[in-house]
Chain A
Amino acid sequence: MTVGQGTVETRPAVPPRTAWARLGPHLTGWAFAAPFLVIFLVFLALPILASLVLSFTGFGLGNLRDWFSAEFVGLDNYTRLVDDEIFLKAARNTLVFVVFGVPVTIALGLLAALGLNRALGRLQGLFRVGYYLPVVTSIVAIAVIWRYLLHPDYGLVNALLGKFGFNPVNWLGESSTALGSIVALGVWRNFGFDMVIFLAALQGINPALIEAARVDGATSWQVFSRVTLPLLKPAILFLAIITSSGYLQLFEEPFVMTGGGPLNSTLSVSMYVYQGLSFGNYGYASAVAYTLFVAIVVLAVIQFRLLRSDETA
């Protein structure tokens, strides 16, 4: 509103005469926003709210025709979660994926960016494309490739390990190695994105700062830890939030690689929502999804606080 008054003041010569003239700019603004707003409200905002409402009901297949016939069950879905062993297993698996996957992805992305920024000159473009290729590739294709590469009998990975005397491993078929393989695949698939962000951030650093530190006799490690790293903090914060919210939503990797098995050892929370949906347990699946939503927001807020307060200290 205050901004609106500002415009009028800059053009006092033509005061709006009619109601239409006064309404005009507002209508134009809303007209430009209208197509987006309709889609946004119907297919994004409404479902987000509906999901919350659904999570307090026993909405099932039978209620698809008449929405209001669904039974209100209060917090039942949420109290059921606490005792649901499969959900707890899915939550644990998802946490493992986040706790191991996020730091490794960011660290590898940073290392790749530092390396590329330092060496290679002209070849840099080629490496960047190569590292970024898994990011833009369909997960379905990645799954086809990696399931074959990791095949216990005719996979390349076991064949190469065999040359060094290792016994073949059934990477995706054993509960002890399946989740680890999924974490590794997640890192392989995503570190290129972090690298590109870090490269952009590194190129934004004034070389004079680093030169000044060198002249003052700082070692490479000191330059990195005292100058470069603190300057990269906004990028790290951004990537920590984006990568963890993405990893908490883990779905595609286990869905196409293992189907959640063996023995639910790679089942994720998002996959559990999908299963609930396929069984027609819409109310319960919504409660699972909302719990995940809250977890994502809470983690984002914590990271924001932690990395921010560091900065001011």
Chain B
Amino acid sequence: MTTLEAPRQAPFPAAETGRRGRLAAVRSWWLIAALLLGLLLTIVPFLWMVLGSLKTQQELVQQPPTWLPENATTSNYERLWNRLDLPRYFWNSTFIAVMITLANLLFCSMVGYALAKLRFVGRDKIFLLVLGTLLVPGAVMLVPLFVLMARLELVDSPWAVILPAAAGPLGVFLMRQFMLGIPDDLIEAARVDGAREFTIFWKIVLPLSAPALAALGIVTFLPAWNALLWPLVVLTSQDNYTLPVALAIFARGQFQADYGLLMAGSVALVVPVIIIFFLLQRQFTQSVTMTGIKG
């Protein structure tokens, strides 16, 4: 085959690559332009938010809109801090998101270890149960969870948000898949040396699972930080609101048209996420592909 095809291509290789090269260059310029346009469409709203949070209300409703603030001001942030009790919402959000993340890291890796490395009756059934709940919509949980929380007298408590999210099936799946790749020999050797099962888990398996733990931490923390629906249902008094709940309620209520204040609030909500995102970019992409492609 190769000998037959070679002479057919031989006569004009130079011309061919030359034209192709130029064509490819033109095409890649188009491509880069399109990609840049896409980038503008995703980034400009965020820039608009930051710039808007520094503008006065008067400038925010000006026509046509200005790009850079004419009289940059921090008054929106001051009002956010003093009048809206931002520190409290920020603390509530942090507490809930951190607790949920720690609980998931511990519980999901424990059960992940059991499912990947221990042999016991009912193991495969637990795993099937976990997989079976991955598609259940949040709306199905809403009503019975509320009824249950009312019964447990946890309505309006941060624990009503933390407990149901303390061990997600996705985390179990992720940890199990990762731990399957840890060599059995290591664990077996420790067992022969007389190490107890929890010591093996804590001292050997967990440190080796660091990449998966980082990924799990990210995919747990972000939704917990951003969560809206369930906290909105179950946190009923203003003192217990998380940041997204507070902002969502203010944005629909008395501060509806106070764009500067709302955008300053959005900056407070988004900046921690962006910082984490930039710091842990690599783990981010890993976390998505770990939970994604292997499923």
Chain B residues 117 to 162 lying within 8 A of chain A, measured CB to CB, are 118-123, 126, 129-130, 133, 135-148, 150-151
B139→A133 contact, CB < 8 A: no
Question: Counting chain B CB atoms within 10 Å of each CB, which of A25, A44, A156, A197 scores highest?
Answer: A44
The listed residue (B42, B62, B288) touching A188 by CB distance below 8 A is B42
Number of cross-chain contacts by CB at 8 Å: 303
The answer to whether the Cβ of B164 comes within 8 Å of any Cβ in the partner chain is yes
B269→A44 contact, CB < 8 A: no
Shortest distance from the beta carbon of A200 to any chain B beta carbon, whole Å = 4
Which DSSP category, helix, strand, loop or mixed, fits chain B's interface?
helix
B144→A138 contact, CB < 8 A: no
Closest B residue, CB atoms, query A196: B288
* Chain B residue contacts of A64, Cβ below 8 A: 147, 150-151
**Total residues of chain B contacting the partner, CB 8 A:** 95
Question: Given A37-B126, A256-B251, does the pair A141, B293 have CB atoms closer than 8 Å?
Answer: no
A144→B266 contact, CB < 8 A: yes
Chain B residues 25 to 79 lying within 8 A of chain A, measured CB to CB, are 28, 31-32, 34-35, 38-39, 41-43, 45-46, 48-49, 52, 60-65
Question: Given A39-B166, A154-B61, does the pair A297, B284 have CB atoms closer than 8 Å?
Answer: no
Chain B residues 73 to 101 lying within 8 A of chain A, measured CB to CB, are none
Q: What is the bound-complex CA distance between A186 and B119, given in angstroms?
A: 44
Which of A96-104, A174-182, A245-253 touches B? A245-253
B229→A252 contact, CB < 8 A: yes
Q: What is the bound-complex CA distance between A146 and B49, given in angstroms?
A: 9
A interface residue numbers (CB < 8 A to B):
1, 3-4, 7, 25-30, 32-33, 35-37, 39-40, 42-48, 50-51, 54, 59, 64, 67, 112, 115-116, 118-120, 125-134, 136-149, 153-156, 159, 162, 188, 192-193, 196-197, 199-201, 204, 234-235, 238, 242, 245, 248-249, 251-252, 255-256, 259, 269-270, 273-274, 276-277, 282, 285-286, 288-290, 292-293, 296-297, 300
The 9 A-B pairs of least Cβ separation, nearest first, read A29-B120, A141-B266, A32-B114, A47-B144, A50-B144, A43-B164, A36-B111, A200-B289, A26-B120
